[in-house]
Structure formats: structure tokens, C-alpha cells
Structure 1
Amino acid sequence: MSATISNPNDLPEKPGVYLFKDVKDEILYVGKAKSLKKRVKSYFKEEIEDPKTRVLMRHFHHLDYLVTDTEKEALILESNLIKKYLPRYNIRLKDDKRYPYLQITSEDYPRLLITRSVREDGSHYYGPFTDVTSVRSLLKLLKPVFQLRDCKRMDGPCLNYQIDLCPAPCSGQVSPEEYHENVGKVKMFLEGRQKEVMSLLREEMDQAARNHDFEKAVVIRDQLFSLGEVMEKQKMEFNRSLDQDVIASSNDGEVVVVVVFRVRQGKIMGKEDFLMEGAQDYSIPEILAAFIKQFYSGPRQVPAEILLPVMIEDKDIIEKWLSDKVQAGSPGKGDEGNYINVSSTGNEDGQLENHGVEKDAALIHLRVPEEGLEHRLVQMVTKNASIILNHHKQARGALLDLKTYLKIPRIPRRIEAFDISNLAGEMAVASMVVFEDGKPSKNQYRKYKLETPGPDDYGMMREVLTRRYEKLKSKGETPPDLIVVDGGRGQLNVATEVLDSLDLKTGVIGLAKEFEQVFIPEVSIPLILPPNSPALHILQYVRDEAHRFAVKYHKNLRDKRLKSSLLDEIPGVGPKRKMNLLRHFGDLKSIQNASEDEIADVKSIDTNLARKIYYHLHQGKD
């Protein structure tokens, strides 16, 4: 039930959520209550002591409310509505960083993928991970070990089957039971249960050896070796197994940071940090309570314990809510450990969904450790929060200096920078890198293949800027606070022409590499920032990152063209023989270093063809 009223005496004495609105019907604040009437009436006292509440009530015009069956449902609904509407006077989790997750899909033969979009589609998600490079490395190691398919359409068998990277479920080469055994091992590994996986594999290897299936035993031995290497890379291990999230916060009155350490089976698996908006005037318990409700309201893994530096309000309700989430998402009776893939408890409109019978016993516990290892761990996370807060303060100061130097209208919290890379006009590419609050936001980087004939650096810069900002304008998105183009006056003029043609108003500069000159529109003399200026260091970092990203993309395209053409251009070498060569030698470089006799040892390649391959790969070499 929902309704709009202006008098709190008209409210029912039932649990629910209330929404304070202004005269324009915009939501100012969302709150929950065990009794709507009693809670809301507290805002209408003659003397309001809390300054935050006084400011809120000066803008108040009317309110909406929604009745729920329990206080726990009110808590869930409150969290969903705050995340959806981002009310001005609520503490808001600024969770705009789309970290990568590992996804095991819900298909009949699941795939293991990297994704930044977490959906309620029955898949299992593991993460988030703050370093996409480490995720890719992990995926690269796990795929050949456990041999999960990665094709979108099962229309093989394909090359991966022929080089022993996939068991080809598409053609019935593996039974569903065998395939899902491997899926189960991947889940156990990603849940932090690596020792159990290693133990299972050792048993299978020993059994294969006893059955004289030595080929299978060798494969499992290699799997054990690869997994051992992965486990060596764990960042830290404690003396006992822990299944916990450790959460702490730091607040300097202007910026609020919350840090989460994910600990699985005694190992720190990752760290995340978040900015909280509208939280500067709140206490640490209030900040942590708001964070927990918003952080776990999505499809995140919920551990058995959450460790905190101080206890929060609504502890019992939050524990029951999280426990119900785990029970609702559990595939059986805990057969997948403490780290359950959970589903959201509200739909897009913030309405509650029925998750069944209320559970009495809490599976998830919030604790404040007083001593020992756990206490030291909380202190460590708190120290991390303070360090990250200090970094934000330093970056904020540098960005404020940058605004002053460049005479731009806003503090450049979001910077987009562009660079061009080509080889005499061939294979021209462009990069766009994004910095937010002085730090790279790599998930927002973009790369472009350019169509402008070259060499024409100005034309190429015009193309990439037009493509980027035409798309941005068509979506109605806000332009960045500052655009940086690599180059001098010419590149800057191109950028201002593009922005003027699209009627976009924002800061834009050119940064020349040789003398670190900063070119500003309508200022004839380039600006030279002090060499030790933090503002200059941010600009250099942004420019160099754009250059690195563009050069890397250009090099990848060159290498891809080289590798694809060298073998494809040899008469008599079709897809099958090309695959045999790569499977035999491993990569193109090894084929180039091989002798005629070694090439002739490859399946389906005779002496004459080996000679052709050898001479084709060594044309022009001494």
C-alpha cells in the first residue's frame, strides 16, 4: 500500500518506508520505520536538535509512504529506493565503478567469463575484482586446467577441442556429468576452497595411475602444478580459515571513504574502496549501516561474518535479512560453502518480492572483534580507509589547483584524454582514457579504429572527438569536466571546433609533450605549470596513459595482422595445417625458429611443403 499525505497523524502505526518530498515532488529523503506514525512525527517537533534534520525540514512539502509486513522488509525497500532515486539527504553509496566479476553462466554447459554486468539470470558471480589484469590471468590459467567451453554457439568441434582446451560438449565428446564435475571444481576454487580442489585432483590422479590410465594421470598432474602456481600468488594467509568481509570507514568532514576486505578461507582475496555521498555529517555507525544495506542489496556474495570497528543500529534486522538472502540463493543445504550467489530482494521499482517463510536463525553475523587476529585485521582495514581518504584529499587539492591554472568552470573531477597512434597513416587508432577524482577509471577506457586516410593527425583527432561526443550528446549524457588532447595548438583548435559544432561547453586543453606546454583556448601563449606541481603531475599521468593505451592497441593490431598473414599467405597451408603447426610449435615465433626438418615432423606436412613454409617465413632475412 502507498499513499501521499501532508499530516503525519494520518499515518498508520505499521512498519514501512516514508519518502519526504519537496514542492517539486522530488524525493529529499527515504527512511524506514517500525511504526510509520511514531517515526515521522519525530520530524515535526517544535525544536529539532539535529542540524541535518532542520535543513531537511526547511525543504519538506509532503510525503509518500509504503506499508510493509515487517521491519525487515522496510529495511530492504528503503535500500532499494535509495539506490534508485539517490535522495539528496540520504547517505549514498557512490558505486559507479563497474568492477569485473568472473561469471559461471547458467547454461546447460556453463562457460567461465569476465563480466562487468551482474544480473539475476541464475549465473554464479565471483568478485568483484579491482584489477582486471589479474582476473584475465586467472581466467587464462583456469580455462585450460578445467576445460570449460568459451564459444557462444555450440556448433563445433572447433580449434579449442583440437588443441585440448575444450572437451567439445557440442559434439558429445564429454558427458554432462563429467563436464559439471569440472564446473563444480571451478566454483570451489573461486570460493576460496583451493585445498579441497587440490585434494580431489590428487585422488583422481592416484586413481588414474592405479587404473594404468597414465595419460589422464599426466593431465591431472599438470592441472595440480598450474593450480599450485595460482595459489602461490595469494596476497596473504592467516593462521586459520576465515569467511568474512571486513568493513571500515574514514571521514574528514568533507570526504567519506568505506573500505571492504574480502577474506575467504583465510586469504585476503581482494580490496574495494567506495566514496559515500551526503555522509559527511553522519556518525561512523550510521555510515556503516547505510553502506551495508546498499552494498549487499545487489547480487553480491555474502560471507558468514561481517567484521566492523563499531556496531551499527538494526544489527538483528540486517543479520536476518542477509541470512534470508543466503538461504534464498543457496543451491541445496550449503553444499557450495558460505559464499552463496544471492539474488536481489527488490525489483526495479523498489517493490518487494516474496522470498518465502521468515527464518528465525541468523546464518550471517555482524561482529566487532575486541582482540586478537580479527581485531588487528579491522585495524588494518581502518588504516587503509584513512590512507585512501588522504589520497582523495591530495587529489582534490591538485584538481582544485588545476581548475585555477586552466581557468575552467568546474573542478575537473572527470577528465577524458585522447591520443592517436599510426604507422605512416596505416592502421590508425585512437585511445580515450578516463580519470575520475585524479585516478584512472580503466573500465571506461575506449579504443577506436579510425577511417580517416593518413597521415593526417588533425583529421584523425577530429574523427575520434566527433564520434565520442556525438554519441555522448545523443544519449543526453553530461560532458566531462576537462578534455585533454595530446598535442599543441593545432590539436586544440580541432577539439574546440568539434565541441563548438556540437554546442558542448566544457574545459579543453592541449598538452604538448616536448616542453610540457599547456595550450588553452583563446590564450595565445602556452601555460607552463611549475615542474613540481601536483596539477602538472595529474596532466602528465593522464596524457601518458592515453599514449600508452593507444600504442598498445596499435601494436596489438600490427601483431595480429602479422601473425594472421604470414601463415595464411603460404600456398598449401590451409586452416587445418595452420592449426597443426601452431599446436606443434605453440606460437608463430617458434615456427619461424624451426628448421625444415622440424617443420616436416608436423602432422600432414611433407618435406616439400616444409621447405616452402621455411623459405616463406625467412624471406628477406640474411
Structure 2
Amino acid sequence: MSMKITSPEELPQKPGVYIMHNSDDEIIYVGKAKKLKNRVQSYFREEDKLDRPKTQVLMKHFSYLEYILTDTEKEALILEANLIKRHKPRYNISLKDGKQYPYIKITNEEFPRIHITRRLLNDGASYYGPYTDATNARGFIDFINKNFKIRTCKHMDGPCLNYQIKQCSAPCVNYITQEEYNKNIRRVKLLLMGRYKTILKQLKKEMNKYSKNMEFEKAAIIRDQIENIQVTLEKQNIQPTKDVDQDIIGIDHNDSEAAVVIISVRNGKTNKKDDIILKQINGFTDTEILTEFIKQYYSTAPAPDEIILEDSIEDEEIILEWLEEKQGHKIKIKVAEEGHYLTLIRIAKKNAHISLTENTKEEENPLLTLEQYLRLPKLPYHIEAFDISNISGIHAVASMVVFENAKPAKKMYRKFKMNTPGPNDFAMMKEVLTRRYSRIAPGYDEQKASSDSMYIKPDLVLIDGGKGQLGMAVEVFKSLGINDVPLVGLAKKFEELYVPGRSQPIILPRKSTALHLLQYVRDESHRFAITFHRQLRSKAFTKSILDEIPGVGKKRKQALLAHFENLDAIYDASYEEICEVEGINKKLAKTIYETLENDKNNKKKEI
């Protein structure tokens, strides 16, 4: 039950959560307490008696508060963490949005798939992460699919190329039983949890069983899996010697941000390192920063057997009770005071210092620079951009490119054939924006975003052009009812940035990596559109010309393509060059050359 009040006198002496609002009804702070009345009374003192500047600023914006009673302090802690994550209040420590970090997801299907996702859904799937490096996560998935032959297709409509190259076990046609397939999935889960010793033991036992039964082909497959896992462990310097999972956590901070480094130790050896940034830390003590991080981070990330810290935290007993109930196993929080753990804490702190320093260097953090200059609500991790390509309206196409973490995410690129009559680039751009973003209009199915990138809501959309093009995009989004996706226009002449609601352009320094990133995104969308347009032109050309040339059948078409590599090159080839193609005599070469020359003269507008 939630109650609105303006004075702490109305509060009971019971555990619960208090939610502070400003005069605009915005939530500005969320806290928990064992006894609500005692805790909240500390905010209602005279200004000069408030213990910190942060509290003074908070109370200047305070209008009223709500409170929610809980049965226990642990329940209050869980509720507080969930409310902070949902509302991101201005005066709470903010863990940078975990959605930008990729997770490895094992789907909840009869024959599960494994893929990267940035959305944690309550869909019965298994999630592992977060990973701060998407490339490493994808590499791990490639390794898993190759060695355990996990399916990657969505629809299971027959053996595909992956089966032909021995990278899928083809459950779609029952070439593997569900029991055997799920045995592989269980082994993959052990790998993702760092249980290398357990999986190697299982595999060796199974290999020996197949050998004794003289099933040597199956034994060889298991042998290769063992060897590949061992090679991977050697590359990562992981030796499965100790069955204990640990996170060693080091923090460094300045006045406004903190960098946290988590060194994950699995089976006694370093497995991976994660870097996370905390914002809005000004006014909080080191202990409070560390405590808030533990609560927010482990509300989604799996907690290990031991968490090693440089100092103690607040509410340790309650946090441990919550984590143990959540994870289903015993958990210890240890303070490193000497020996090996203290060395690891120092390493983590050193890495945190480096991460914090790099995060404040504008030239090395284009996403952070864009967030600040464009006043974005969060880091523009997922950027989308579009381009139109046509010649006098012929074969008009549009491209959509996607950049994630300032790098091209080519699997998310999309091509569009335009329905708008041309030439009219302005109207065509309006068409492609409508087609793309109608999928995320109010009422869209958010669950589809985990399997279809066209349902992901971008952090920033780049429009190629100035005020006019940006205004058109704003109208498209307005007509779709979308008001929470930032737009920016990049005008070519002076490389100025335009944002909605601001008449004057934003000028980034010419050497700014943020400007270079936007230029790269724009140029990549242009390149991708032109490539698609050429493909359509070439395809139309071969259908209308090559297929009509007497003597040019399927084999000679293949010979021409093999010799010239692409269809545009055939179109531009000389008579002598065509003569060099295997299987093409001089008479046929002359026919081909003359036919193409006549076509070029008749259709100059398509060149």
C-alpha cells in the first residue's frame, strides 16, 4: 500500500520504502529503512543541520513523499533496488543502464538456441552475463555452436548450410534426439558458468564409454570437443583447479562518477573482467557507493560463491540473505586484508582508475561526448541511420545501418525497396522511416526485440541533412506517437548537428571523435545503399540482357561472373577482355560486347 505525506510525523515505525517527489510529481529519491519514521525525520531538519550538501539540495526540490510498508527489511531492500532501477531518480546513485551490456541467452524452446541479447525478459530463458565486450561474447557463441552443433535457425524448416558444414546437429529433421541435444545444452550452461572441470570430466567419461563400445566416430567427436575446450582454456590462462566462484570488486571515483571493475574468478582462475560506470555519486560516502553498486549490480547479474571487497558494506546481513534466496546457494562477502585477495583488489582498483580516466577523456569516448552535447537521456549505444539510392527514380532503394558501441553491427543492417515514385528522396526517406519505426510505435510487442532487431528501440537516429530533413523525421515520429527516441540531423556542408526544438546548430570540434563517429555512420549508410542499388541494377541487367543473348546459357553466365567477379564489370568490359573468358569464342564475344554496348546507349539514364 502506498501513502502520500508531507511530514515524517505521519510515518509508522515499521520497515518499508520512502519515495520522494518534487513539485512536478517526478521521483527524485528512493530509500529504505528499518524504521521509516526515524529515517525520514533526519531529512526534516534546518538546512544548516543537514549532514551533507546532497541532502540540502534534495530537500530544496522536495514536495511530498510516498511510503510503502514491507514485512521485513529484506523486502524493503529488494523493493528499493527495483524502484531505483525502474525510475532512475536524480539523487540516487545510477548504475549505467545494464541494457547496453550484452548477455548470452539460451532460449526456452524444445531445441534451444543461443544468441546475444541486451534485454532481460521474464520468458523462462537462461541469461549469462553481462559481457562488456560484445565481440568476445559473439566469439564465445561461435565456439559453442561449432563444438556443440547448436541450431541457429528460427523456424527449423529443414537441414541448412550449417548442417552441411557440420556446425549444426539438424534437430529439425530428427538427426539428433531431444535428449542428446539438451545434454549438449546442459554442457554449454556449465561452460557459461565457468564449470570447466565438471564438463571436461563428463566429456572424458562419455568418450571412454563410446570407445569401449567401439563407437569410434562418436568418440572422435567428443575427443575434438575436449581438445578445443582445453585449447580455449590455455589461451585464456584458465586452469580448472578449484571449485569456487568469486568476484573481486575494485572501485575508483571522482566527484561525479565511479568506475567499478569486477574480476570474475571461476574455478580458481581469472575468467573475465567487467567495467561499469556509476553516475550521480556526489555526496555519497565510499561505503554507500559500494553498497549501492552491490545491490543494483546483483539484482540482475548472478552472484558467485564469494564476493571479495576492499571494505565492508552497509546492510551486509540483509543483502546476503537476499542474494542467497535469489541464487539458491550459500554466499560469502569477504573484505580483503592481506595475501592473494588483497593483490587482486589492488589490480581491480588499478583497472578501475584506468577505466575512470578513459571515461573522462572526450577524444576516446565518442558516445559519452554525444550524450553530453546532444543532452541525450542515456548513452547512445544503439544508433541507426538511413540513406536513399536511385538514378532518376529507377530501382530506388533505402538502407538502414546500425552501430552498437560505436561499431557497425552488420547483422542488423536492413535493405528496403522503395514504393514511393521518384525521383523524390525526401518522400522516400519519409517512407522508410515510417516502415521502420511503425514497429516500435505505442503498443508494439517488446518481446520481439529479443529475436528481431527491427523491434529494438534505438538510443539515437541519425538523419542525413539539416533542418528540413530533420523536421520531416520529427513529423514521422509524431504521427507514429513516438516521443522517446532522440533524433539528430547531420548537415553535410559544414558538418553541423541539428536537434529538434533548437534553432541553432551544434558545432562539434573537427577533431572530435563524436563527429567522426557520426560521419562514419552516415558514410556507411551511403555505402550500403549504393551497394544494394548496384545489385538490383545488375540483377535487372542480367535478366533483360544476358538471358536474351543467343549462345549465353547458364554455364557461360557462370564463366563470365567467375572471370569478372561482378555483373557491373561485365557491363564495362571490352571486346578483348570478353574474349579471355573460358568457353567464350570470338564470335560470341563480339555478340555479347555489341549487345551490351547497344543497351548502354539506349539506357544511359541507368548508368
The TM-score with structure 2 as length reference comes to 0.70
1:369 to 313, 336, 343: 336
For residue 382 of structure 1, what is the amino acid of its counterpart?
K
2:249 to 241, 247, 250: 247
2:218 to 212, 216, 228: 216
1:60 to 37, 59, 62: 62
Who is 2:579 aligned against? none
Q: Answer yes or no: is 1:544 the counterpart of 2:520.
A: yes
Taking a change above 3 Å as real, the CA distance of residues 102 and 466 of structure 1, as seen in their structure-2 partners, is closer
Q: Answer yes or no: is 1:31 the counterpart of 2:41.
A: no
Taking a change above 3 Å as real, the CA distance of residues 192 and 507 of structure 1, as seen in their structure-2 partners, is closer
Q: Answer yes or no: is 1:448 the counterpart of 2:414.
A: yes
For residue 387 of structure 1, what is the amino acid of its counterpart?
I
Query: C-alpha distance in 1, partners of 2:538/2:150?
Result: 29
Who is 2:447 aligned against? none
Taking a change above 3 Å as real, the CA distance of residues 509 and 161 of structure 1, as seen in their structure-2 partners, is closer
Residue 71 of structure 1, CA deviation: 0.9
Who is 2:469 aligned against? 495
Q: Secondary structure at the match of 1:319?
A: helix
Who is 2:131 aligned against? 129
| Structure 2 counterparts to residues 123-272 of structure 1, below 5 A | 123-153=125-155, 156=158, 164-170=166-172, 172-234=174-236, 243-272=245-274
Residue 229 of structure 1, CA deviation: 3.8
2:351 to 377, 384, 403: 384
CA deviations 1:354-390 (Å, max 9, x no partner) are: xxxxxxxxx1122221223322222222222222222
1:393 to 353, 360, 381: 360
Q: Secondary structure at the match of 1:187?
A: helix
For residue 348 of structure 2, what is the amino acid of its counterpart?
V
Q: Answer yes or no: is 1:316 the counterpart of 2:317.
A: yes
Query: C-alpha distance in 2, partners of 1:383/1:492?
Result: 44
Query: C-alpha distance in 1, partners of 2:180/2:367?
Result: 59
RMSD of equivalent CA atoms: 4.8
Deviates more, 1:70-79 or 1:382-391: 382-391
Q: Answer yes or no: is 1:510 the counterpart of 2:511.
A: no
Q: 1:448, 1:464 within 8 Å by CA — same for their partners in 2?
A: no
Q: 2:389, 2:533 within 8 Å by CA — same for their partners in 1?
A: no
Residue 495 of structure 1, CA deviation: 3.3
Q: 1:256, 1:280 within 8 Å by CA — same for their partners in 2?
A: no
For residue 27 of structure 1, what is the amino acid of its counterpart?
I
Q: Secondary structure at the match of 1:17?
A: strand
Query: C-alpha distance in 2, partners of 1:249/1:471?
Result: 43
Q: 2:259, 2:278 within 8 Å by CA — same for their partners in 1?
A: yes
Q: Secondary structure at the match of 1:43?
A: coil
Q: 1:98, 1:443 within 8 Å by CA — same for their partners in 2?
A: no
Who is 1:10 aligned against? 10
Q: Secondary structure at the match of 2:310?
A: coil
| 5+ residue gaps, structure 2 | 444-455, 479-485, 499-504, 543-557, 564-581, 590-607
Who is 2:603 aligned against? none
Query: C-alpha distance in 1, partners of 2:525/2:138?
Result: 17
Q: 1:432, 1:445 within 8 Å by CA — same for their partners in 2?
A: no
Residue 433 of structure 1, CA deviation: 4.8
Query: C-alpha distance in 1, partners of 2:417/2:78?
Result: 50
Query: C-alpha distance in 1, partners of 2:75/2:326?
Result: 12
Q: Secondary structure at the match of 1:44?
A: coil
Query: C-alpha distance in 2, partners of 1:181/1:479?
Result: 37
For residue 304 of structure 1, what is the amino acid of its counterpart?
D
Query: C-alpha distance in 2, partners of 1:381/1:316?
Result: 25
Residue 171 of structure 1, CA deviation: 5.1
Query: C-alpha distance in 1, partners of 2:197/2:229?
Result: 10
Who is 2:399 aligned against? 430
The TM-score with structure 1 as length reference comes to 0.69
Q: Secondary structure at the match of 1:134?
A: helix
Paired residues in the alignment total: 519
CA deviations 1:217-264 (Å, max 9, x no partner) are: 222223233333433442667986651222233222133333333332
Who is 1:99 aligned against? 101
CA deviations 1:387-438 (Å, max 9, x no partner) are: 22222222189989989xx9x8758986757475979887955344558xxx
Who is 2:45 aligned against? 45
Q: Secondary structure at the match of 2:413?
A: strand
For residue 325 of structure 1, what is the amino acid of its counterpart?
K
Query: C-alpha distance in 2, partners of 1:78/1:19?
Result: 9
Q: Answer yes or no: is 1:19 the counterpart of 2:11.
A: no
Query: C-alpha distance in 1, partners of 2:287/2:302?
Result: 22
Residue 99 of structure 1, CA deviation: 2.4
For residue 8 of structure 2, what is the amino acid of its counterpart?
P
For residue 508 of structure 1, what is the amino acid of its counterpart?
G
Taking a change above 3 Å as real, the CA distance of residues 227 and 26 of structure 1, as seen in their structure-2 partners, is same
Taking a change above 3 Å as real, the CA distance of residues 253 and 471 of structure 1, as seen in their structure-2 partners, is farther
Taking a change above 3 Å as real, the CA distance of residues 402 and 185 of structure 1, as seen in their structure-2 partners, is closer
Who is 1:306 aligned against? 307
Residue 507 of structure 1, CA deviation: 5.6
Taking a change above 3 Å as real, the CA distance of residues 240 and 473 of structure 1, as seen in their structure-2 partners, is closer
